[in-house]
Amino acid sequence: MARLLLAVILATALLLPASAGAHGRRPHHPHASSTTHRHASARRVAPAKLAGPDPVVLAVAVAERYWSAVPCGGQITVLAYSPLAPGLSPSTDGWVTFNSSLGPNDLEAPAGTYTQCTISLAAWRWPTRTAAEEDWNMFCLTVTHEMGHLLGHPHSLVPGSVMAPVFTDESNVPPICRATRLPRPQ
């Protein structure tokens, strides 16, 4: 059963297009799709050299399955392996930015009004694709957490919640992230 789930997730991730792109946005808060995923990286790797699915694309697909929803009308830009935005704490590993009916980055607005959605993942934590692969559980958790914000979910103090404001260990990693493994290069 686990292999079947993995095959479905990998097939979904491979079918999602990924293209380069970057948009400047104001940061929302520390931490914080389906037809268009834009992925910018500080270091470009020729697609022919990649052994398996991009961890960013796979993590987004896993997060969509976790939430059973696709935020922002499927239009999300994911910036990975990127420097921190100005004004953020150096310990910030991910954050979201978006426009809404109540203004930029306002989680009080209905999530259905979010546009120009971006998830940024800091290079200090995951400077390369390999780093994201090696730290898959936390990488997947962080993307799932940020997708939760784009669906309108605030931080939660419930123990083990994906929406906890801070992760100090892997206790918040959802089972779907643990069950999804990236193929290793041969």
Assigned domain for 185 exists: no
Note whether residue 172 is domain-resident: yes
| Chain segment 121-179, per-residue pLDDT in tens | 989 899 999 999 999 999 999 999 999 999 999 999 999 999 999 988 899 999 999 99
Higher pLDDT pick, 46 / 106: 106
Over the chain, what HEC string results? CHHHHHHHHHHHHHHCCEECCCCCCCCCCCCCCCCEEEEECCCCCCHHHCCCCCHHHHHHHHHHHHHCCCHHHHEEEEEEEECCCCCCCCCCCEEEEEECCCCCCCCCCCHHHCEEEEEEEECCCCCCHHHHHHCHHHHHHHHHHHHHHHCCCCCCCCCCCCCCCCCCCHHHCCHHHHHCCCCCCC
Domain that holds residue 64: 2-43+52-179
On whether residue 131 sits in a domain, the answer given is yes
163 inside domain? yes
* Residue 129 within a domain: yes
**What pLDDT is stored for residue 185 in this prediction?**
57
**Overall domain count for the chain:** 1
Whether 151 is in a domain gets the answer yes
Q: What is the pLDDT of residues 49-67, one digit of tens each?
A: 445 689 999 999 999 999 9
184 found inside a domain = no
Q: CATH number, domain at 170?
A: 3.40.390
Judge whether 108 lies within some domain. yes
Rounded Cα distance, 24 and 171, in Å: 33
Q: Considering the entire predicted model, what is its pTM?
A: 0.73
